[in-house]
Every structure is written in C-alpha cells, then in structure tokens.
Amino acid sequence: MNSGSTESEESRENPVVEVIPLEGWRQILAERMLSSHLTYAEVSQMREIDVTELGSLRQSLLSRLEEKYGFRLSYTHLLIKATAEALQRHPIVNSSLVDEEIRIFGNINIAVAVALDNGSLLTPVIRRADQKSVVEVAQETIRLTEQAKSRRLNLDDLQGGTFTVTNAGMYGTDFVTPLINAPQSAVLGVGRMVPKPVVRENQIVIRTMMGLSLTYDHRVLTGATAARFFQTLENIIENPKQMKLGI
C-alpha cells in the first residue's frame, strides 16, 4: 500500500508530458548503435591538434574558390581530404572485419555524419575521396549534405563507406568518441576549434587548437597501428601545404 501510494504521489509531482515511441528511424538508429557497441572492441585515442596553418590555408583559398565555384570551403572539407590522404598511407585502417577476415579496401570512401532537424543521423558517402581534388570533395560534401537534409538521398549514397568523419565541433564539443559505423573499422570525431596558449620554440604563443578522437576496432587495429595513422593525420593537418589539393 505504501509503495503504491508513493508511486502515485511521484506521478502527480512529475507527470509524463510526452511519450515518443521507439519506432521508425529512432528504432533503426537505436538498433544500429547497440549492435555497434556490442559487436566492436572499441578503443579511442585523442589528440589536440594545431590547426592554425590549416586555417591560413583555408583563408587563402576562400575567395578564389567561392568566386570560381560558388561555394565556401570549410574545415570539414579540408579534414576529409587530409583523412583520405592519411588512409592512403595506412590501408589497414580502411578495412572491415568480415567472417574472421580483415578485408582492406582499394577505394577510400569516406562517410560524413549529417544530423537532421528531427534528431536522426545519416552518413552519406564521398566515394574515392583520395582521388578527388579538394574542390570535388567540397562539392560532393555540400551536395550530399543538402540532399540529406531535404530527404532526397538515394540508397546508394548511404552505402559503401569505409571510414567515417563526424564533426561535433559546431555544437561546441571539445572531444567526441562516436560509435563505429558498421562494418567499418574506425571513425574520426572532430571537436571545436579554440585559440589557446601553447609552447612553440620555448615561447608561449596563441594557436588555434582542435580536439580529435580516433575510435577504432581493437580486433582489427592495434594501439600502435592506430597511433601511427593518427600521427600521419596530425602531420598532414598541421602541415597542410603537403596536401594534394588538386587545384
């Protein structure tokens, strides 16, 4: 009796104002996330990377590309291109574990997470990102993002990804450790950019820093293998003039 009375009192004090059924895209997303969490041996590494020079490169290209092609080059576009180049140098990261076999793919197809207004998440795929110029990467990313938000994606646009990039920095997040997008072996989480005091050549200077996380399947990648890939990616981002932009 006492227990029922307490329950009734709690219901009156804190009434349920809405019930959202776990169905449709919510159910699909929930099932995929739980499957990823239960299937993968997930480990994350994090780095704070200096993106000052990347910002300078972007600034130097902004007006020229906008005038010629009609789009604004974003940090995400450059990060996708840098990630594709790092994957070229570390093919094992561009793989899937299938039927007790690690299958390394010849094409680097980068999925980009796109959050929709209703809370759902889609990951359209930029195929052969390593073979595309930064202009082509940007144009494809913009096209796929716009189609995702207007619900006009084809099923083919969502299939065949071999690595995922998800940017949570636009929401003020410093670090994010996303779940792996099955059947891939790794995902890059991108945090916000923040000016910070750092030491360079024994001097304290202000640099623009970004938090990155690499979450990977430990069954496929050892910690050392993942770290080497992360080091390569960091080097490309911090020294962006070495990037093969194709322009």
Q: What is the pLDDT of residues 120-177, one digit of tens each?
A: 788 999 999 999 999 999 999 999 999 999 989 888 999 999 999 999 998 999 999 9
| Number of residues that make up the chain | 247
Task: Give the C-alpha separation, 64 to 66, whole Å.
Answer: 6
- Spell out the residues 6+ positions from residue 73 whose beta carbon is closer than 8 angstroms to its own: 58, 61, 62, 65, 66, 134, 138
**Does 5 map to a domain?**
no
Task: Calculate mean pLDDT across residues 43-72.
Answer: 97
End-to-end CA, the chain: 76
Q: How many domains does the chain have?
A: 1
For residue 107, what is the DSSP state?
S
Catalytic choice (37, 77, 90, 218): 218
Give me the domain span that covers residue 46: 17-242
Single out the residue of 43, 90, 112, 38 nearest to residue 236, CA to CA. 90
- Angle formed by the axes of helices 223-238 and 52-69, to 10°? 60
Rounded mean pLDDT, 208-214:
98
The mean per-residue pLDDT over the stretch 61-79 comes to 96
pTM: 0.87
Cα separation, 231 vs 73, whole angstroms: 25
Structural domain includes residue 78? yes
Please name which of 195, 177, 194 lies closest in space to residue 186, comparing C-alpha atoms: 177
Q: Is residue 232 part of a domain?
A: yes
Is 37's pLDDT higher than 60?
A: yes
Q: What is the pLDDT of residues 169-181, one digit of tens each?
A: 989 999 999 999 9
pLDDT of residue 47: 97
Q: Is residue 97 part of a domain?
A: yes
Taking all residues of the chain, what is their mean pLDDT, rounded to a whole number? Answer: 91
CATH of the domain at 103: 3.30.559.10
- The reply to whether 6 falls in a domain is no
Residue 114 predicted with pLDDT over 80: yes
- DSSP tally for the chain: helices H, then strands E: 6, 10
Q: Is residue 7 part of a domain?
A: no
Give the DSSP letter of residue 231: H
On the question of a cis peptide bond just before residue 183, with omega within 30 degrees of 0, the verdict is yes
Q: Is residue 62 part of a domain?
A: yes
Is 77 a residue of the active site? no
Predicted local confidence at residue 6, as pLDDT = 55
Distance CA 244, CA 82 (A): 9
Examine residue 120 and state whether it is found in any structural domain, yes or no. Answer: yes
Question: What's residue 2's pLDDT?
Answer: 55
